[in-house]
Amino acid sequence: MHGTETIQLLEQSVIEGDVDNAGKWALQALDEQTDIHEAINQGLIKGIKQVGDAFGNGEIFLPDLILSSEAMKAASDIFEQELKKSGQSIQATGGKLVIGTVKGDIHDIGKTLVSTLFKGAGFTVIDLGVDVPTEKFIEAVQEHRPDILGLSSLLTTSAIEQKKVLDTLHESGLRSEVKVMVGGGAVTEQWSSEIEADEYGGDAREAVDRACSLLSAAQGAVQ
């Protein structure tokens, strides 16, 4: 078996949500000295993009998307560990996203799906997890200098935390340096406008589409 076949098997394992084989083929790719970036882009990202398209078209459902996300993570974790040994990191073709579920909310699935589809679109994703305090979002913006900050909230009671993050970005002089997207079950487009976020994502697929539009508009304004 050579590298091209292994990359195809990686892609298939992501499409099928086969976590065990995703890890197996990632290790096989390393044994064959396959280019890691090629394995990621032509195997994992190509596979998750197909899964994202199928999910957006209603051809597969949430449990399928979650399994594919886990398969992609199993393989990408192996590749990331190998790259770190040589001081490298995964090269992204899109922008950079910092994302987290705001303080007071521990819901993770929606945020994880958004993160997965952003990776499929070529973004570097820094996932801060759940119940993230405002200070941690600010520190992440300062450290990672992302193109987009994603704030998720499923609970109505925690949605106000999204506004607190935006207010603190203003107070810290960082608001003009990052585009802010909000989403989650408790969030509406009206709420997004009220707190003056840059964009709203009604679901994971829409969030990626709107983020790409945001970046294109920003890049056009700079040129």
Residues near 58 by Cβ (< 8 Å), separated by ≥ 6? none
pTM of the model as a whole: 0.79
Q: How many Å separate Cα 207 from the centre of its chain? A: 10
Query: Hey, what's the torsion of the CAs at 27, 28, 31, 32, to 10 degrees?
Result: -140
- The per-residue pLDDT for range 63-86, each reduced to its tens digit, is 898 899 899 989 999 998 998 887
Q: Are strands 124-127 and 179-183 parallel, antiparallel or unpaired?
A: unpaired
Q: Is the pLDDT of residue 223 over 60?
A: no
DSSP, residue by residue, the chain? --HHHHHHHHHHHHHHT-HHHHHHHHHHHHHTT--HHHHIIIIIIHHHHHHHHHHHTTSS-HHHHHHHHHHHHHHHHHHHHHHHHTT--PPPSS-EEEEEEBTT----HHHHHHHHHHHHTT-EEEE--SSB-HHHHHHHHHHH--SEEEEE--STTTTHHHHHHHHHHHHTT-GGGSEEEEESTT--HHHHHHTT-SEEESSHHHHHHHHHHHHHHHHHHH-
For the chain, percent of residues with pLDDT exceeding 70 = 95
pLDDT at 66: 87
Is the CB of residue 42 less than 8 Å from the CB of residue 35? no
Does the structure show a pLDDT above 80 at 18? yes
pLDDT higher than threshold 90 for residue 110: no
Read off the tokens for 198: 């840059």
Residue 218's pLDDT band (cuts 50, 70, 90) = confident
* Side chain identity at residue 68, one-letter code: S
Q: Hey, what domains does the chain have and what are their CATH numbers?
A: 3-85 (1.10.1240.10), 96-222 (3.40.50.280)
- For range 209-215, the mean pLDDT: 90
Please give the average per-residue pLDDT across 10-24, as a whole number: 97
Rounded Cα–Cα distance for residues 20 and 75 (Å):
9
Higher pLDDT, 185 or 218: 185
Backbone phi and psi for residue 13, each to the nearest 5 degrees, phi listed first: -65, -35
- Residue 221 in this model has a pLDDT that exceeds 70: no
Model pLDDT for residues 128-184, shown as the tens digit of each residue: 999 999 999 999 999 999 999 999 999 989 999 999 999 999 999 999 999 999 999
